[in-house]
């Protein structure tokens, strides 16, 4: 009988985890890309993200990233997912503000088409902090077939990310 | 019209002069008597010549006694004018004591290019039958099919124009359809011979096909003026045709060659039900980017033995639904059918099918097959209809992160007709449209194992994704076992119980 599951158990165990730390030079604003073998990617906050630290309370989540672009307007149809918004690595997915007055932008981290955003976190923002790598995911992105290998080249593996976390810890200590 | 009459004489003479064989002459004279065509070739030549000399020619069909006599002589004669390839050597027939005709040369017919000559002879029949026998097929009848080179159609057209002109002079007409078709006449002659040699009747509906492909390389060039011959022949004007093609058709040096002699048996269908006991076995070969992921599959484990016993060229596997590679299939098994393409062997007793099933079951413990039997193509359709089972029965081994006690999961047993909203699972989202589907869990029954494990028996609406119902798929299936238990849940094992009476019904 299998023992406890790695990576928090549940659906996430079928995915490979990739990390992008300090995005846009903002310390500890780390993201995690969960990639399935079928090339589907789920974008989540990484464990070290400021929003997941003690004492933070989420005030609002906004998928309206500019006056004329809302990720909530994204609609895909058919097997080929026609109509998807195309995302570059630094395309914003949403902005999240906390009660302490900070605002954080969540980025796609990979190139691909936006398949869906997680609307559940709008009605239940707490889930983003309780289960950031499963039910509190941000969005689902489908990379181009020919880019499915190359999109993760600029990202860190789980092991590399742990080294980054260790270094941070040592520097602050 | 079944035999030659006085008014055919000018046509017969014309065609004889231009190098047309007696059987083709009969065809153009609209002779419909099959037996007439079956007379030995040499007798026909002699008959036509005599016929032309007689003042008051009687139809050949009426002159019975001489025919019988001639036939007798023919069968005693051993033809030795064929080379290895069945191609006629261009030497005059040797003077033969029993031969009715002396010093005659068999010219290759300018219309049929030998099809109604050498290819009607016993040697060719033997050659075909040897090929059939060596292919080792089981059959109870046969259908004989012939593929002819396109230049034969062009030559047929030229000969028709020639005869039509001649008849026109006599104030008579001849429609294309009036002529006895070459293939038709050929079958009249060769069917009885093949039938006798193979020991089974010719039958247009037979599933066992013997086919011969003829070619005539010497004249391949001559229909170049017509691109797609058959279509072009329909359209071309007579004057244009005559500009491009000699009329009468020139006499060739060589006979046709039989390029291929092939056999094909109609497909047979085998059906049954299978259980799958492995969590590492796909139903059909699992290939990603041209690379095999697992070495075997259900269809291969079953089919390899069927292929060997039926000696088929290939197979097509179909089933009533399918399970994931890591899911076991229990219950009385999933209905499947296998089409065996071009089988050599087709007759199996019920006892032999049982043995075959045993062979399959002995060769692997990953699968088990039951009720293996021969079925009709129609029965396969009924199997596919049965695919729309309303309810599915599953058994899942569930893991939870936080400890559970018996009491924590007991309430699951009381939940009836639970409505789910399932988004297309992430694991199949790359190839299926994104949608939210409503599915129903009819009943659940939990079986406590330890603090982190329990078994869950479920009856669900068809089309429910069970793995996602257990682990939640990032909260994309709502509710899910994790949310119901307020824990993180995962699925470790899944079995599907397929219970059908499709195969059983037919056994009765
Ligand atoms: Zn002929």
Buried b vs exposed e over A109-140: b needs ≥16 C-beta within 10 Å?
bbbbbbbbbbebbeeebebbbebbbbbbbbbb
**pLDDT bucket at A3, cuts 50 / 70 / 90:** very low
CA distance B479 to chain A (A): 12
- B26: nearest Cα among B159, B149, B143: B159
Give Cα separations from B230 to B109, B155, B187, B256 (angstroms): 21, 12, 21, 19
**What confidence score (pLDDT) does residue A165 get?**
94
The values of phi and psi at residue B415, to 5°, are -80, 125
- B152: nearest Cα among B119, B195, B104: B119
What number is the average pLDDT over the span B344-354? 95
What number is the average pLDDT over the span B291-297? 85
ipTM of the complex, rounded to two decimals:
0.93
**pLDDT bucket at B240, cuts 50 / 70 / 90:** confident
**What confidence score (pLDDT) does residue B228 get?**
73
- B183: nearest Cα among B23, B35, B21, B41: B23
Give Cα separations from B275 to B29, B279, B298, B305 (angstroms): 67, 12, 9, 17
CA–CA separation, B79 and B92 (whole Å): 12
Which chain A residues are Cβ-neighbours of B426 within 8 angstroms? 11, 36, 40, 42, 140
The H or E element spanning position A64 is strand A64-66
Residue B323, C-beta contacts closer than 8 angstroms, at least 6 positions apart:
B276, B283, B329, B334, B496
Ligand 1 center to B252 CA (angstroms): 12
What number is the average pLDDT over the span B55-69? 42
**What confidence score (pLDDT) does residue B508 get?**
34
**What confidence score (pLDDT) does residue B118 get?**
92
CA–CA separation, B114 and B436 (whole Å): 70
Query: How would DSSP label each residue in B334-345?
Result: EEEEEEEES-S-
**What confidence score (pLDDT) does residue B3 get?**
74
| CB-closest option in A9, A38, A42 to B474 | A42
**pLDDT bucket at B99, cuts 50 / 70 / 90:** very low
pLDDT > 50? residue B507: no
pLDDT > 60? residue B62: no
pLDDT > 60? residue A47: yes
Instruction: Output the average pLDDT for chain B.
Output: 85
Q: Which of B81, B324, B326, B490 is catalytic?
A: B324
CA–CA separation, A133 and A9 (whole Å): 10
Which residue shows structure tokens 């037919």?
B506
Residue B89, C-beta contacts closer than 8 angstroms, at least 6 positions apart:
B81, B82, B83
Mutating which of B397, B434, B453 best tests the A interface, going by the most A Cβ atoms within 10 A? B434
CB B455 within 8 A of CB B409: no
**What confidence score (pLDDT) does residue B332 get?**
87
The model's pLDDT over B259-270, given as tens digits with 9 standing for 90+, comes to 999 999 999 999
* Stretch 129-168 of chain A: residues touching chain B, C-beta under 8 Å: 131, 134-135, 137, 140, 142
Residue A109 φ/ψ region, left for φ over 0, alpha for ψ in the -120 to 50 degree band, beta for the rest: left
What number is the average pLDDT over the span B208-226? 87
The answer, yes or no, to whether the previous bond of A154 is cis (omega within 30 of 0) is no
Is A11's CB within 8 Å of B473's CB? Answer: yes
pLDDT > 90? residue B59: no
**What confidence score (pLDDT) does residue A37 get?**
87
**What confidence score (pLDDT) does residue B504 get?**
46
B253 Cβ under 8 Å from any chain A Cβ: no
Give Cα separations from B172 to B56, B169, B330 (angstroms): 21, 7, 78
- B389: nearest Cα among B301, B453, B460, B314: B460
B97 is known as an active-site residue: no
What number is the average pLDDT over the span B193-199? 96
Is A134's CB within 8 Å of B475's CB? Answer: yes
pLDDT > 90? residue A30: yes
| CB-closest option in A14, A38, A135 to B475 | A135
Give a three-class secondary structure readout of B23-82: HHHHHHCCCCCHHHHHCCHHHHHHHHHHHHHCCCCCCHHHCHHHHHHHHHHHHHCCCCCE
What number is the average pLDDT over the span B409-425? 96
The model's pLDDT over B138-147, given as tens digits with 9 standing for 90+, comes to 999 999 999 9
**What confidence score (pLDDT) does residue B501 get?**
57
Give the tokens for residue B81.
């004018």
**pLDDT bucket at B226, cuts 50 / 70 / 90:** confident
The model's pLDDT over B157-184, given as tens digits with 9 standing for 90+, comes to 999 999 988 888 888 888 888 999 999 9
| CB-closest option in A9, A120, A140 to B401 | A9
The H or E element spanning position A17 is strand A15-20
What number is the average pLDDT over the span B385-410? 86
For residue B172, the tally of other CB atoms under 10 A from its CB is 13
CA–CA separation, A96 and B89 (whole Å): 94
**What confidence score (pLDDT) does residue B227 get?**
66
CA–CA separation, B458 and B364 (whole Å): 29
| CB-closest option in B434, B474, B489 to A115 | B434
B473 Cβ under 8 Å from any chain A Cβ: yes
**pLDDT bucket at B77, cuts 50 / 70 / 90:** very low
Ligand 1 center to B26 CA (angstroms): 9
Mutating which of A3, A5, A10 best tests the B interface, going by the most B Cβ atoms within 10 A? A10
B482 Cβ under 8 Å from any chain A Cβ: yes
Q: Would you call B6 helix, strand, or coil by DSSP?
A: helix
Indicate the DSSP class of residue B91: S
The model's pLDDT over A93-133, given as tens digits with 9 standing for 90+, comes to 999 999 999 999 999 999 999 999 999 999 999 999 999 99
CA–CA separation, B303 and B305 (whole Å): 5
**What confidence score (pLDDT) does residue B392 get?**
86
CA distance B254 to chain A (A): 58
CB B399 within 8 A of CB A5: yes
**What confidence score (pLDDT) does residue B63 get?**
40
Instruction: Output the average pLDDT for chain A.
Output: 90
pLDDT > 70? residue B437: yes
**What confidence score (pLDDT) does residue B49 get?**
81
**pLDDT bucket at B57, cuts 50 / 70 / 90:** very low
Q: Which long-range contacts (CB under 8 A, 24 or more apart) does B300-305 make?
A: B301/B360, B301/B363, B301/B364, B301/B366, B301/B367, B302/B274, B302/B336, B302/B338, B302/B360, B302/B367, B302/B369, B303/B338, B305/B356, B305/B359, B305/B360, B305/B363
The H or E element spanning position B467 is helix B466-471
Ligand 1 center to B116 CA (angstroms): 5
Q: Look at B89 and A93; give whichever has higher pLDDT.
A: A93
**pLDDT bucket at A8, cuts 50 / 70 / 90:** very low
Q: Please, which residues bridge with residue A32 across strands?
A: A19, A44
């Amino acid at each position: 009988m299998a023992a406890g599951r790695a990576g928090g158990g549940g659906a996430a165990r079928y995915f490979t985890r990739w990390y992008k730390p300090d995005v846009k030079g903002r310390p500890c604003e780390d993201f995690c890309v969960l990639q399935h073998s079928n090339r589907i990617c789920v974008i989540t906050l990484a464990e070290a993200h400021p929003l997941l630290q003690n004492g933070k309370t989420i005030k609002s989540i906004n998928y309206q990233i500019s006056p004329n672009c809302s990720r909530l307007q994204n609609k895909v149809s058919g097997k080929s997912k026609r109509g998807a918004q195309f995302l570059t690595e630094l395309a914003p997915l949403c902005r999240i503000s906390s009660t302490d007055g900070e605002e954080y932008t969540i980025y796609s981290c990979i190139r691909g088409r936006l398949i869906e955003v997680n609307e559940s976190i709008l009605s239940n923002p707490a889930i983003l902090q309780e289960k950031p790598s499963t039910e509190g995911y941000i969005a689902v992105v489908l990379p181009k077939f020919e880019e499915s290998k190359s999109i993760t080249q600029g990202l860190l593996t789980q092991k590399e990310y742990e080294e980054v976390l260790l270094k941070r810890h040592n520097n602050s200590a | 019209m079944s035999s030659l009459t006085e008014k055919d004489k000018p046509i017969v003479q014309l065609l004889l002069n231009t190098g047309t064989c007696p059987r083709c002459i009969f065809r153009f004279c609209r002779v419909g008597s099959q037996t007439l065509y079956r007379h030995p070739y040499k007798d026909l030549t002699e008959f036509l010549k005599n016929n032309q000399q007689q003042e008051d020619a009687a139809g050949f069909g009426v002159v019975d006694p001489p025919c019988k006599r001639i036939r007798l002589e023919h069968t005693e004669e051993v033809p030795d004018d064929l080379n290895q390839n069945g191609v006629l050597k261009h030497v005059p027939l040797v003077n033969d004591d029993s031969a009715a005709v002396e010093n005659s040369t068999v010219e290759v017919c300018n219309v049929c290019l030998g099809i109604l000559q050498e290819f009607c002879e016993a040697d060719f029949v033997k050659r075909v039958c040897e090929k059939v026998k060596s292919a080792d097929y089981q059959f109870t009848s046969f259908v004989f099919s012939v593929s002819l080179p396109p230049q034969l159609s062009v030559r047929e057209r030229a000969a028709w124009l020639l005869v039509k002109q001649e008849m026109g002079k006599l104030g008579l007409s001849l429609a294309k359809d009036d002529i006895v078709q070459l293939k038709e006449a050929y079958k009249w002659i060769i069917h009885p011979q093949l039938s006798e040699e193979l020991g089974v009747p010719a039958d247009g509906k037979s599933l066992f096909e013997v086919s011969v492909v003829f070619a005539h390389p010497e004249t391949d060039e001559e229909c170049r003026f017509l691109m797609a011959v058959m279509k072009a022949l329909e359209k071309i004007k007579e004057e244009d045709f005559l500009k491009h093609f000699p009329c009468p058709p020139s006499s060739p040096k060589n006979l046709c060659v039989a390029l291929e002699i092939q056999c094909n048996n109609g497909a047979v269908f085998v059906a049954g039900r299978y259980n799958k006991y492995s969590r590492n076995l796909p139903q059909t070969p699992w290939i990603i980017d041209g690379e095999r992921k697992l070495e075997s599959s259900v269809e291969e484990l079953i089919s390899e033995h069927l292929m060997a016993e039926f000696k088929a060229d290939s197979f097509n596997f179909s089933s009533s639904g399918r399970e994931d590679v890591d899911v076991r299939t229990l219950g009385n098994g999933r209905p499947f059918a296998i089409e065996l393409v071009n089988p050599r062997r087709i007759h199996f007793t019920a006892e032999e099918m049982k043995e075959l099933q045993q062979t399959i079951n002995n060769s692997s413990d990953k699968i088990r097959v039951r009720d293996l039997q021969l079925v009709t193509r129609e029965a396969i359709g009924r199997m596919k209809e049965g695919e729309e089972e309303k309810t599915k029965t599953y058994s899942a081994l569930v893991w939870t992160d936080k400890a559970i006690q018996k009491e924590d999961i007991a309430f699951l047993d009381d939940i009836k007709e639970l409505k789910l909203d399932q988004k297309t699972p992430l694991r199949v989202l790359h190839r299926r449209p994104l949608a939210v589907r409503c599915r129903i869990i009819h009943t659940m029954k939990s079986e406590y194992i330890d603090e982190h494990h329990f078994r869950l028996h479920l009856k669900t609406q068809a089309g429910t994704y069970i793995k996602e119902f257990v682990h939640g798929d990032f909260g994309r299936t709502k509710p899910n076992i994790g949310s119901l238990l307020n824990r993180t849940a995962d699925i470790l094992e899944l079995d599907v119980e397929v219970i059908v009476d499709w195969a059983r019904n037919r056994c009765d």
